[in-house]
Every structure is written in structure tokens, then in C-alpha cells.
Structure 1
Amino acid sequence: MKPALFSKILDDRSLESAIDLTGELGYDGIEIQASEPHLPPDTSHERAERIRNRLDEVGLSVPCLATYTGYYDQLTDSEAEAELETLEQYAALAEILDCELVRHKPGGPPLRDATDDDFERAAGYVRRAADVAAEYGRTIGIEIHAGRLVETADSTMELLDLIDRQNVGVIHDAGNMCIVDAEYGRASIERLADALVHVHVKDLQRVDDPTLPDAFETETNRGEESFQFRPLGEGDVDHLPLFTALVEAGYDGYLTDECSVTPDGEDGDIDVARRELEALERTIERARSAAD
């Protein structure tokens, strides 16, 4: 398993600077935030080629292009068509960047409110997105996410079955699953099986005070709840059983750290990225030992 950094952690810097720093810190990959300031959809192919060259010089791969395309429950049909056009721009950029996976979001509503029609509409559009991505040899990655149709491993697999495309896979996210009390350890890895194409890593915890730093509120099955982003290993998300299951399953892909803790000071973002890598590597080693 290889550690990667989400470039959003360094989003006060240019993408080129973020690439350099990520390599210097010792990560194996960088997941690029597909929006300003790092990679908006109108990024020229010439700039994408320069970015690819920079990645090669630093020795980094791009395991996933983290686009914010999709969210079909919130869109009219004409707006959804526009999202597919934007996705095609990103698929072309992903090809230049030698990035296999393009994140695409089917949207909601939350699973507790979802109907068969919601699943069918989302599946229809993601099926078309997959066909667009296939023209560029890319794979669509659906991230398991709270407040969406894909809150759990089961609901995500239900949607994948409806989409029925070989180039659609699942991005596991234990932090998002923890929010909705979904199982995110061994059973989730067994359920996803070969559909698992990538893993996101972040830590958070339930709190009583939504005004705490890095806290947010969201509706869950328990009602309105507050959560606070935390450094890896300091929240409620126990990644060790997950990583152990990944080792045992033979997963050799990337683990992208998505820490959302606000950095402190001028170079606080670098401190966050360094600390997260250390915690990530410790947990990977513990998982390997546990799996032996």
C-alpha cells in the first residue's frame, strides 16, 4: 500500500509547489484537487503536459483526479448534461496526467430518504459518465460518502449493479462511513471485493459543540450531529482493522490522506502533511504486522 496526499491540504500553494512538497515529504502519490487553484476543468492540455513532466521529475503518481462533478439529484437535465461535458474535460486531462481514476459523484439524497427512482436516475447518468471516461481509457471512481446514495458498502454495490459498467469502481472512505455508523472495516472490504479501486483516509470525531475549530454539522439517522476533523489517529475512526483487511486482501494501491485540520502558521500545511504521513506509515506497518 502506498501513501498519497490530497493536494487540497496544500491548496494555498500552486499545484507545482504542492507536487514538489509532496515528493520532498516522502509520499508516493498526489491526488489532485480538480478545481481552483490546482486543476480547473479549462486547464489547457499544454499545462497538463507540463504538470505530467513535473510529476515525473519528482517521482510521483496521480492515483485519482478528485473532481466535483456529478451530484445529479441537485440538477436539472440540462445541468446534468453540462456536468457530463465537464467530466469529459477532466477525462482528457486524466489521460495526459497518466491518472487512471476520475472521481465522480452520483449525489443523493441520503440513503434513509432514497427511492428506487433516485438510484435509477443516478445510475443512468453515471453509466453515461462511464461511457465518456471509457473513450479516454479512464475509470470512474464513486466515493462512499455520508448524506448520499452511497453511504454504505451495500448501497454502493447496489448502485454499481444498476450502472453495469466495467470501468466504474469504489473509493472507500472510512471517515465518511463513520459519520453514518456504517461498517468500514473487514466486512466492507469483503463486500466491495474487486470493485474497490482506491482508498481515502481521514479522521474525525463526534462532538457536542459545533463551534469548535474544524467542526461541522450534518444530518444523520440520529438527527442533527456535530463532528470535528482530527489528525489521523486522534479521532473516532480506527483505521487499523481496515488497513489489516486491505493487506490480507492483497490491496497494493494508494491510500490518499485527506486531513481537513486547519494548519497553524505560515508552513502549517507542511506540518500537517508531514504528521499525517508519519501516522499513515505507522498504521500501515502495524497492519502488516497484524496480518502476518
Structure 2
Amino acid sequence: MRFSAFTASTPDWTPSEAVRILATQGYDGVEWRVTDQDDAPTPGFWAGNRATWPLTGLEALLPSIAAITRDAGLEISGIGGYARCFERDDVARLIAATAALQAGRVRVTMPMLRTGHYRDLFAGARKDLAWACSLAADQGVTILIELHHETIASSASAAMRLVEDLDPASVGVIHDLGNLIIEGHEDHRAAFELLGPYLQHVHVKNVAWHPSPPSGDGVVTWQPDWSPLREGQADVAAYLRLLREVGYDGWVTLEDFSTAVPLEERTADNLAYLRSLVTG
């Protein structure tokens, strides 16, 4: 396995700082966040993230992205795009950028739930993916679908229904350990076996559910929150063991959105922890 970090989870660093620190810590690669984002008074994961490349004007930035990554001695494990599958112009731009960077794979996001009737959203996404895969195949790029809560592809089973008739050389699935704690969890071994050749990328983070104070009638509701890798509800050690047992040897990307530990300490400790699990 090779380890990278998704820059959504490194908001305090500029791109140059991110690759320098990650390389020094021993990471093999970086997964670049690419999206137009809102400004924020302080850097945050989703707004004001300093390690994010904008989609607007992306083409002119490609030489800088390539040089910064190469000069740090890292590979690009993938492009973390945010274009929905039906935003075809943006999807095409991300595919072309991924090809130019020789990054190999790019995330294309699925429709959000409750933005239409589920069957209609699903049918539309199938058509959009067939179109995107044809375009990606011509440019030597693989489209990645992330298992993500509150989308039409929160589980491995749902993702498999989206991709099962498409060439795994041009489309794959990101199995995301933390997202599945929120929604979509299935037995991991069964999910890996179900996905087969479509299991092409892995995201690792952790989540814990916490109760809210009881309401006036005594009802307690529960909410998920990002957690340090060792403290959430997902068994990270068992997860990596199962990945190895099914023969997965691709990228494992860390995207820890917890904040209990300072960023540089967090990225270093996370990598050391995961490496200890696969070499111990």
C-alpha cells in the first residue's frame, strides 16, 4: 500500500508547505483538492482552505501543481474534484487536467439525496457516468466514485449498481471508512468482494456518534463528529487487515478532519499509525 493525504484535511498549509511537510513525514503522495471555495477569516476544511487549487483558471495552474508535487518527491494519488456528474463541462475539465498531470484518477461526485426522486437521480447519474467514462478512457484517466453519506452512492452496493456495466479501467470506487460510519456501512469484506476490480482507492478517517442533551420530552438524538483515528467507532486496524487479505495494494489516503491534535502532529501520527498496522 502507498499512503497519501487529501489536502481538504490540511487547510492551514499552502500547497508548497503541504507537499514539503508530507514528504518530510514520509508520505508517498498527495491528493489535491480542486474546487472553487468560499473565503473565510481563518483557514477551514471547506472554506478558506489554503491547500486547495481553484477550478477557475485551473488549466493555467497545472504546471505549478506538477512542479510543486514533483519537486517534493511525491506522486499525485488522485485529483479530489467536487464537480457533480451532471456538471459535464466541469467534469470534462477535471478529466483533462488529470490527464495533463498524469495523475491517473479523478473524483466525480454523485447527486445529493433529496435533490430529486431517487430513481431519477440514479438513472441520470448512470448516463452521466457512461459519458464521463468514455471521455476518461480516451485520455487514460479513471473516474472515481466516493462512498459518501447523503448521496445516491453511500454504500458499496449502491455504487456497484452505478458502475457494474462500465469498464473498471475507466471507473472505480473510493471506499471511505469514515463516511460509512455515518451512512452506508456494510460488512467490509463483503463490500470489498462485491466491488472486486472496482475497488480502486481508499480514504481513511474516523467518526464517533455523540448524544445530544435530552429534549424537553426526554428524547435523545445522536450526531456524528469527526474523530482521531484511534478514537472513533471504526476499527482502523481491522479495516487495513481486511484490505490486505483481499489483495488491495493501492493508495490509502488519509483525510482526518478531527482537530483535537495540531495539524502537523496529526498528519505525522496518522501516517506512523497506519504504517505500523501494515508492517507489524
- Give matches, 1:146-225, under 5 Å: 146-161=149-164, 166-180=169-183, 182-209=185-212, 225=222
- Report the counterpart of residue 99 of structure 1 in structure 2: 103
Give the drift of 1:117.
2.8
Cα pair 2:118 2:152 within 8 Å, conserved: no
Q: TM-score, normalised on structure 2?
A: 0.84
Give the drift of 1:181.
5.7
Q: Deviations over 1:177-220 (max 9, x none)?
A: 1222612521111111111110000011110139xxxxxxxxxx
Report the number of matched residues: 259
Cα pair 2:108 2:145 within 8 Å, conserved: yes
Q: Name the aligned partner's letter for residue 108 of structure 1.
A: M
Q: Deviations over 1:59-95 (max 9, x none)?
A: 211111011110x6xxxxxxx4xx2111222222212
Residues in 2 aligned to 1:195 and 1:3: alpha-carbon distance in whole angstroms: 19
Q: Name the aligned partner's letter for residue 2 of structure 1.
A: R
Residues in 2 aligned to 1:206 and 1:172: alpha-carbon distance in whole angstroms: 20
Q: 1:119 to 1:164 in 2, by over 3 A?
A: farther
Q: Deviations over 1:32-61 (max 9, x none)?
A: 111254211234545312321232222211
- SS for the counterpart of 2:208 is strand
Residues in 1 aligned to 2:235 and 2:190: alpha-carbon distance in whole angstroms: 14
**Does 2:50 match 1:56?**
no
Gaps of 5+ in 1: 73-79, 211-222, 287-292
Provide the aligned C-alpha RMSD in A: 2.4
Residues in 2 aligned to 1:96 and 1:65: alpha-carbon distance in whole angstroms: 12
- Report the counterpart of residue 241 of structure 2 in structure 1: 244
Q: Name the aligned partner's letter for residue 146 of structure 1.
A: H
Give the drift of 1:250.
2.0
Cα pair 1:130 1:165 within 8 Å, conserved: no
Match of 1:259 among 256, 260, 267: 256
Give the drift of 1:283.
2.3
Q: 1:181 to 1:273 in 2, by over 3 A?
A: same
Match of 2:140 among 131, 137, 140: 137
Residues in 2 aligned to 1:40 and 1:13: alpha-carbon distance in whole angstroms: 15
Q: TM-score, normalised on structure 1?
A: 0.81
Q: Name the aligned partner's letter for residue 233 of structure 2.
A: D
Displaced runs of 4 or more, over 4 A: 162-166
Residues in 1 aligned to 2:133 and 2:209: alpha-carbon distance in whole angstroms: 36
Residues in 2 aligned to 1:88 and 1:16: alpha-carbon distance in whole angstroms: 27
Cα pair 1:177 1:184 within 8 Å, conserved: no
- The structure where helix makes up a greater share of residues is 1
Q: Name the aligned partner's letter for residue 180 of structure 1.
A: E
Q: 1:20 to 1:184 in 2, by over 3 A?
A: farther
Give the drift of 1:241.
2.5
Give the drift of 1:114.
6.3
Q: Percent identity?
A: 28
Match of 1:227 among 224, 233, 252: 224
